[in-house]
Amino acid sequence: MVINLCAIFQLSQFFYCVKIKTMNTSAKYEILKTFYGYDSFRDGQEALIDHLLAGQDVCGIMPTGAGKSLCYQVPGLVFDGITLVISPLISLMKDQVRALNQMGVHAAYLNSSLTFGQYKKALAFAREGRYKIIYVAPERLLTDEFLDFAIHAPIDLVAVDEAHCVSQWGQDFRPSYLKIPEFLSKLAHRPAVGAFTATATRTVREDIIRMLELCDPFTTVTGFDRQNLYFEVRHDKDKYKGIVNYLIKHRDQSGVIYCATRKNVEEVCEKLLSDGFAATRYHAGLSDQERQANQEAFTYDEAPIMVATNAFGMGIDKSNVRFVLHYNMPKNMESYYQEAGRAGRDGAKADCILFYSGQDVITNQFFIESDRENEELTGEALEQVRHQDRERLKKMTYYCHTTDCLRDYMLRYFGEYGSSYCGNCSNCLQSFETIDITQIANDLIGCTLTSGMRFGINTILDTLRGSKNDKIRRSDLDENHFYGSCCAETIVFLRQVCNHLIQNDYLTVTDDQYPILRVKEKGLTFFAQTGDFRPVLTMKAARKDGGTEADVSNRNAAGTHSPSAKTGKSSAASASPFETLRSLRTAIARKNHVPPYLVFSDKTLEAMCVMLPQTKEEMLTVPGVGELKFQKYGKEFLQVCRELAREDEF
């Protein structure tokens, strides 16, 4: 059926594509420079844009902050007709529509945040052709009013954002996305369709193409590596103290603190406010009015610290987020990658730090078993989703314990393979030593086998340490041959060894509600080998003397977020130009009632510090400064850059 539809689509596109190909090929560059202030496209953008302009379907997998929205906005501005952007994210719609209107592009959104009267008015303006780009929630597609508009509207492009939501194997499956093919089939003319997402494994990518019925799509995966992001996992006993210590060193920066529960959000936010930090909160338990007010306060940097559950942030377009801290571990790598990726969207350096504790695993297990996000799924289908979620949770937990490069671990999860040393994560910058764990591995595997593979990790580790708790005695594990054999080791270290053996296929954990530790074939082979035939097992571990080669605070103190001026002065001196420009940006933003990052991004201000342009022509060569932005804000920044340059002469 899909093949036939594609054949019909390709036939109907013939004359349409002829028209598209006659368009001025320089139009995309003119739009890029005039509206966005850039001379060239980022990796992957131009190919996606070219195929859409030729009327071909595309599927773009691009990391958060890589410029997915530009891939459909530029064609939308080239086309004569309307571009529809289907998104489940009210926050993204608002941010991107606001940004487009700031650039002089007429855009609107149609979602549940509008009153009935506002929705009717926006739809009426859409019928009159006032909008080039319209953002719409998937739930609205097949409503009578919207469908009547869409059938009669000149729609040239439909962009599906967060396209992973169409797959039940994606981390945010939304049944409303399944309505998109039906909507497209009702249009008088099938436009080009672009599907975009930041997080999609191979299985999810295949689902996107099949379930959205994309016709021979041009597909590109630009890579998941965000080199400007620093990754770290901390195992602080006092998480809140660790977060406060970080915030003290980054008082002038904006960031997000993610918590697993509403209760944690309330507690952390209240403590931060009492400790003098300008923070606000966001979770599903707040009223719509308070959520909107708090989001605005964060967006406009009135409360630069947002404490939130994962209900906040999907699609947030704020570019000057300099850190994302996780008070709790997310339930899968997809969620962590997406949430952490909200830092440094402007390309400037940013920190992503996860504060881990064992309780995080238990909390996420509870969320998985009491899944309320997919109530329409029952029986075998629901159990399949839960099984997948349990496996994802394991991989997320391993990330928090690995001694390998964190970036490499993340990239391998998404199917990319590169260097095992990135130089920009806590593991790569930590001093490690290689230790022999052969005997401990033998005891761990032996204890698991001789206890009948009936217990979880905690019970096995308690047995090895010689615990006298009730469960050990009731299960006769105090009589096990390996009881107390590792009493000299800490529980933290034994857990590291256990995780290492699991990651390397010696052991495994069942995905039951109460996971059981079991020995795999590789573990059986190892345990059976003795003497000279047994291989030596080693593991990387942090040096016991606490040696370290770097610290996040030291990196930032050395100027990570304070760009040097072109004179090459010390970081203390070079912070002044950036702060001067940032103060000007804040003043202009308040005067124009817009978020500061919509004036110019941090990355653009950094470039101004380095280039210190003296003329309009020089200012227009600064990345992120286009003709329209210059007319609105550029002259004031140019004047300050001239003053800074004169100061450098003395």
**Residue 376's CB: how many other CB atoms inside 10 A?**
9
Structure tokens given for 312: 């906040």
Amino acid 63: pLDDT: 80
Closest CA to 325 of 348, 299, 350, 354: 354
Distances (CA, A) of 475 to 442, 457, 459, 472: 21, 15, 10, 5
Residue 254 and residue 302: Cα distance in Å, rounded? 10
Chain-centre distance for alpha carbon 481: 47
Amino acid 55: pLDDT: 93
Amino acid 16: pLDDT: 43
On whether the CB atoms of residues 477 and 459 are closer than 8 A, the answer is yes
Question: 3-state DSSP call for residue 109?
Answer: strand
Chain-centre distance for alpha carbon 500: 26
Residue 54 and residue 56: Cα distance in Å, rounded? 6
- Directed axis angle between helix 438-450 and helix 491-503, to 10°? 80
Tell me the residue ranges of DSSP E strands in 449-564. Answer: 507-509, 517-519, 538-542
Amino acid 567: pLDDT: 39
Structure tokens given for 324: 């994302």
**Residue 222's CB: how many other CB atoms inside 10 A?**
18
Which residue has tokens 């909200």? 342
Instruction: Pick left, alpha or beta for residue 37 (phi over 0 → left; psi -120 to 50 → alpha; otherwise beta).
Output: left
Instruction: Tell me the chain's radius of gyration from C-alpha atoms.
Output: 27
On whether the CB atoms of residues 494 and 465 are closer than 8 A, the answer is yes
**Backbone torsions φ then ψ of 315, nearest 5 degrees:** 90, -5
Amino acid 109: pLDDT: 93
Structure tokens given for 151: 């059938």
Checking DSSP bridges between strand 279-282 and strand 350-355, what pairing results, if any?
Answer: unpaired
**Backbone torsions φ then ψ of 621, nearest 5 degrees:** -90, -5
Closest CA to 442 of 534, 355, 379, 305: 534
Distances (CA, A) of 491 to 355, 459, 480, 508: 19, 11, 18, 19
Amino acid 260: pLDDT: 92
Residue 292 and residue 298: Cα distance in Å, rounded? 10
On whether the CB atoms of residues 109 and 93 are closer than 8 A, the answer is yes
Question: 3-state DSSP call for residue 280?
Answer: strand
Contacts for 514 with CB less than 8 Å, ≥ 6 apart: 456
Structure tokens given for 433: 């030593």
Digit-coded pLDDT (tens) for 215-230: 999 999 887 888 899 9
Amino acid 568: pLDDT: 38
Residue 241 and residue 249: Cα distance in Å, rounded? 13
Closest CA to 603 of 34, 38, 70, 32: 38
On whether the CB atoms of residues 117 and 145 are closer than 8 A, the answer is no
Which residue has tokens 């040096």? 543
- pLDDT < 70 stretches in the chain: 1-25, 170-171, 313-317, 371-378, 513, 543-575, 648-650
Residue 136 and residue 172: Cα distance in Å, rounded? 18
Structure tokens given for 577: 């130009």
Structure tokens given for 643: 């003053």
Amino acid 265: pLDDT: 96
Amino acid 199: pLDDT: 77
**Residue 140's CB: how many other CB atoms inside 10 A?**
20
Digit-coded pLDDT (tens) for 42-76: 888 999 999 999 999 999 998 877 788 999 999 99
> What domains are defined for the chain?
2-221 (3.40.50.300), 229-429 (3.40.50.300), 435-541 (1.10.10.10), 562-649 (1.10.150.80)
Q: Where are the alpha helices (DSSP H) in 570-611?
A: 571-592, 596-599, 602-611
Could you tell me how many residues make up the chain? 650
Amino acid 25: pLDDT: 58
Structure tokens given for 27: 């139009």
On whether the CB atoms of residues 310 and 190 are closer than 8 A, the answer is no
Amino acid 39: pLDDT: 86
Amino acid 430: pLDDT: 84
DSSP 8-state assignment for residue 535: P
Closest CA to 89 of 345, 315, 374: 315
* Three-state helix/strand/coil letters over 341-402: CCCCCCCCCEEEEEECCHHHHHHHHHHHHCCCCCCCCCHHHHHHHHHHHHHHHHHHHHHHHC
Q: What is the largest CA-CA distance in the chain?
A: 83
